[in-house]
Amino acid sequence: MKKIVFLFVLGFIVSCQLPSSLNGKKSNQDLLYKTWILQDENGDVLSYNGQAINLQFMKESEIRASGFSGCNRYFSTVNLDESSIRFEQVGATLMACPEMETEQMFLDLLPKIDRYELYGNELTLYQGKIVLFRFVAK
């Protein structure tokens, strides 16, 4: 679990340059109804007790996100356009696990995300120019 916490922290402080061009126009539909699996900077899946930390977007009357955050299930409303994204009203179930630090960091960072990039099956979430999370579609 300490390795996971270290990898999260390392991933949060890594700054990356913005690409000079986008690979075509993104569609919000490309995010929906897939399971996005969290990866560290080496491409390894981050998991807790064998279950991958993940994210799913669904569209009902509004776009919502939910997933597994390391111990609990979480949920959020999402404001989304072609390049910006905001997670609002983030909540989670209330199960207790031995080590909750990683999950709490994940949940604390969701509302700070303001931008995304989508290339094929890879989703990167940013705060400004700082990469917060990298996901791959399952």
Distance of CA 77 to the CA centre of its chain: 14
The percent helix, strand, coil of the chain (3-state, each to 5) is 20, 45, 35
CA distance 90 to 80: 15
Of 4-8, 61-65, 80-84, 105-109, which gets the smallest average pLDDT?
4-8
Please tell me whether residue 81 adopts helix, strand or coil conformation. coil
Q: Give 26-55 pLDDT, tens digit per residue.
A: 566 789 989 999 999 888 998 888 899 999
Report which of 16, 24, 4, 34 is spatially closest to residue 104, judged by C-alpha positions: 4
Nearest to 55 by CA among 80, 18, 82, 21: 80
User: What's the pLDDT band for 7 if we cut at 50, 70, 90?
Assistant: very low
- Residues 54-94: tens digit of each pLDDT: 999 999 899 999 999 999 999 999 999 888 999 999 999 99
For residues 4 and 84, give the distance between their C-alpha atoms in angstroms, rounded to a whole number: 27
Domains and CATH numbers, the chain: 2-137 (2.40.128.270)
User: Would you give the DSSP letter of residue 44?
Assistant: P
Residue 5 structure tokens? 């916490």
Q: Determine the 3-state secondary structure of 130 from DSSP.
A: strand
Integer Cα distance of 92 and 23 in angstroms: 34
CB distance 9 to 107 below 8 Å: no
